[in-house]
Structure formats: C-alpha cells, structure tokens
Structure 1
Amino acid sequence: MSVRNLILWRHAEAEVLMHGASDLERALTKKGHKQAKQMAGWLKKYLPRQTYVLVSPSVRTRETIAYWGDDWQEDNRLAPERPLAPLLQLLAQSPFESVMLVGHQPWIGELAAHGLGMPDGQISIKKGAVWWLRLPKSGLPYKLYSVQSPDLIE
C-alpha cells in the first residue's frame, strides 16, 4: 500500500436488521447519530487536509460521514461483506497520501490487521470508532497512530 495515512472509520451504531429488510438500508440509531457527530468533530480537528474519503453505499455509513462533511465518494467495494482483495488493490494504486475508508466489519478489521502485519488476522473495531494507521519511512507494516472511540470524546 502506498497510502501514508490510512484512516478506518467503522459506521456508528445502527438499527437491528429486521427479517426481510435490506442490510444496506439500515439507518443509525439515536446513539449512532451522537457517536457519528462526536467522531466527526474529532476528525475535523485532526484529519489531514487533503484526505481522500471513500464510503460504503449503506445508509448507516452515509449517515455517519454526513456529520464530517460532503467531500467524499461512495464506493461499492466498501459495502458490507465485501472481500479484502479489491480494497488492497485500491490502496496500492491510490495516488493519495491520506485515505479514509468508512465501512463495516468484517473487512474493516481485516484491513486493519493486514496493514499492521497480521495478514490472516482480524481486529474487532468498535462501532463508531476510528483507527488511524501511519506508514513509517521504513515501509510496511503500518504502525498504529491513533485509536479513537466516540464514547471517550466529549
């Protein structure tokens, strides 16, 4: 991966999937809206200015990113239950120094583990949390730069 700052933001708390409903249509709960607003405030303060942002096409991720701003692109490769390989290819070909992906478990945890040098692992990333990985000058693997949970941000 050529991206120096890889920021992974898992969507905030969402409604329970009801039988027969579409997973992509699940919206944030009241708590989820609060989590997204808190995390967006932190990101606005610390995120590098030229960060390229890609978001899953699900309602809950679009509602999560809405608190951050409107400078983002929807990408089907970030939808729930997508394989990791297309994301790795996307990042390897990215011309951007800083990329933020807003999405879902399990791929977001798999991507974090892969970036940190655990290619067969998976990290459980809490709903609404941000994991910021930074590529050292020496190259891969990434180093964990910051982990933020909306519950700890006021």
Structure 2
Amino acid sequence: MNLILWRHAEAEDQASSDLARQLTPRGRKQAQGIAKWLKARIDDDALFLVSPATRTIQTAEAFGDRYRVVDELAPGKTAQHVLDAAGWPDGAADTVVIVGHQPTLGRVAASLMTGHEAEWSIKKTGIWWFQGRTRGGDGQIVLRAVMNPDLL
C-alpha cells in the first residue's frame, strides 16, 4: 500500500470558522504545482480522502474532483484516526492520499518512521509518501518521497 500524506496549501488566517478558511491565491498555485507533480507519479485509481475543511477540499480539487470527505480527518483528530481512515497497512486502496492538517499529519509521519508519535512538521502543501511492504515475512515501511512546493 502507498500512503501519501498531503498537507493543505496556504490558507487565509481568518474566516467565519476554522473549517471555512479558504486557500490564498498563493495556496492555490502551490496546490496546483504539487498536484501536477503527483499526477505524474500515481495511478488513476488512487483514493483521495480529505478533511471536511474548505482548505483541504480546495487543495484536493487541484488534483481533480474524485475525493471523499472524511470527518475522521478533521482538524484535531489523532494520527490513529488518519491511519484507520486509510486502512493502513492493508489499504482501503493500493494508493491512498490523505489531504489533512498539522499537527496530525506530522504525528502520522513520525509514527510510521519511528514507531512513536512525535511533533514533526510537514510544510504547507508538502507531500510525504510512504509505502508498506512485506519482505521475508516482515512488514516494512519505506519513505518513497518528500516533496514541497519550493522544490518544484
């Protein structure tokens, strides 16, 4: 299974509620750049799971309109909520893209890399791509890529 953590792009600071915050023009451009990078690397059948926040939905829409909003990915949810929504490690699909928030995505990345949650930071619009696999009967986690919009 491939698990791709995609933090939402730059969003406005103020809105009627946290969930209503929209992407800035710069954020839209960032999301489009990462979406283009991602489109060249993943299969068409990837499953996109998105937080109910406007900024995550707008980030995912840079890739296309085939995403599912999942309440378990809302701001303030736990790393385990994210992993459960994705079906990790067996997978709800061969490739699951989670579009979500800090600090939760950083905690997921730390947990996958070290076995323990920690306060790791994922840059806005950043991608962390993990692959779960089995070798010699043992489960392994491989970090396939880390991409940020300033690297495009």
Using structure 1 for the length normalisation, give the TM-score: 0.88
* CA displacement 1:77-128 (0-9 Å, x = unmatched): 1111112222233324644121100010011111111112332323200001
Q: How far off is 1:152 after superposition?
A: 1.6
Asked if 2 retains the 8 angstrom alpha-carbon contact of 1:51 and 1:96, the reply is: yes
User: What SS is found at the alignment partner of 2:5?
Assistant: strand
User: What SS is found at the alignment partner of 1:116?
Assistant: helix
Q: Which runs of 5+ in 2 are unaligned?
A: none
Asked if 1 retains the 8 angstrom alpha-carbon contact of 2:51 and 2:100, the reply is: yes
Identity %: 39
- Output the aligned Cα RMSD: 1.6
User: Hey, what does 1:7 align to over in structure 2?
Assistant: 4
Q: How far off is 1:28 after superposition?
A: 0.6
Q: Which runs of 5+ in 1 are unaligned?
A: none
Give the whole-Å Cα distance in 1 for the aligned partners of 2:30 and 2:60: 11
Out of 7, 32, 35, the position equivalent to 1:37 is 32
User: Hey, what does 1:53 align to over in structure 2?
Assistant: 48
Q: Name the count of aligned residue pairs.
A: 148
User: Hey, what does 1:62 align to over in structure 2?
Assistant: 57
Out of 128, 131, 135, the position equivalent to 1:134 is 131
Asked if 2 retains the 8 angstrom alpha-carbon contact of 1:117 and 1:142, the reply is: no
Matched, 1:118 2:140: no
After TM superposition, the runs of 4+ consecutive aligned structure 1 residues lying more than 4 A away are none
Asked if 2 retains the 8 angstrom alpha-carbon contact of 1:112 and 1:122, the reply is: no
Using structure 2 for the length normalisation, give the TM-score: 0.89
